[in-house]
């Protein structure tokens, strides 16, 4: 991490960067970590969205800026990306975002209460394209159970991928899940990112899935 990003990151610990009690690994959450008080975290009561794997915020920042009445909590484990995101939030004066540098499964399990979220965004998770690695993919029935428990009734899970096989897996998992209602595929206000352009240039179609919590 560049020194300038490190200084910005360190200055925002406990501010834009949520200070989460760590477990055994740097990106894990301590087993006794209390659930976040989201109202206190953002300084107001508003609908809360969680983005999983936000990277440097290519989607997150413009989407959060376009929704000033919504608060966004991002889970991202790659510290340089967190620092780049925080630097951009400060530079562009975007105030309705916080980022927790922890694993999304641990974060959702321990830091978010049941029914607390209005939306969850999972844009371009690692596709693990080799068949022997498919078991590492984030979106499976167990993770869908977790997301369903954290969404309020009527809340939406928005997902995007540029890997056809992963899109098919997402559809199979969520179309069959009793807690979700499948809605028409729609990118909504999700901006086109550099990552997405690269996938399109390589001939991969983009799937934008929407599932509503029943």
For the annotated binding site for S-adenosyl-L-methionine, the residues are: 51, 76, 103, 126
User: Quick check: is 19 catalytic?
Assistant: no
**E strand segments, the chain:** 48-52, 71-75, 97-100, 117-123, 151-161, 180-183, 207-213
Q: Which residue positions form the known binding site for substrate?
A: 130, 162, 193-196
Q: Tally helices (H) and strands (E) across the chain.
A: 8, 7
For residue 202, the 8-state DSSP code is: T
Q: Is the distance from CB of 44 to CB of 38 less than 8 angstroms?
A: no
Q: Which residue positions form the known binding site?
A: 51, 76, 103, 126, 130, 162, 193-196
Give just the sign of the alpha carbon dihedral 84, 87, 91, 97: positive
Distance from C-alpha of 192 to C-alpha of 169, rounded to nearest angstrom = 23
**Exactly one of 10, 126, 145, 186 is catalytic; which is it?**
126
Indicate which residues carry an active-site annotation. 126
């Amino acid at each position: 991490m560049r020194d300038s990003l490190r200084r910005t990151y360190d200055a925002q610990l406990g501010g834009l960067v949520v200070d989460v009690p760590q477990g055994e690994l740097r990106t894990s959450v301590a087993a006794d970590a209390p659930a976040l008080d989201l109202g206190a975290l953002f300084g107001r009561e508003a609908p809360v969205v969680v983005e999983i794997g936000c990277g440097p915020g290519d989607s997150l920042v413009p989407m959060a800026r376009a929704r000033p009445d919504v608060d966004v909590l991002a889970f991202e484990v790659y510290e340089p990306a967190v620092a780049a995101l925080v630097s951009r939030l400060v530079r562009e004066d975007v105030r309705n975002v916080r980022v927790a540098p922890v694993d999304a499964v641990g974060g959702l399990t321990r830091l978010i209460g049941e029914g607390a979220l209005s939306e969850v965004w999972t844009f371009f998770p690692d596709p693990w394209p080799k068949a022997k690695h498919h078991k590492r993919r984030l979106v499976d029935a167990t993770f869908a159970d977790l997301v369903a428990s954290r969404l309020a009734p009527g809340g939406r899970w928005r997902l995007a991928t540029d890997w056809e096989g992963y899109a098919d897996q997402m559809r199979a998992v969520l179309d069959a899940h009793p807690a979700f209602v499948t809605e028409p595929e729609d990118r909504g206000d999700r901006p086109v990112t550099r990552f997405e352009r690269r996938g399109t240039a390589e001939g991969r179609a983009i799937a934008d899935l929407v599932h509503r919590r029943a």
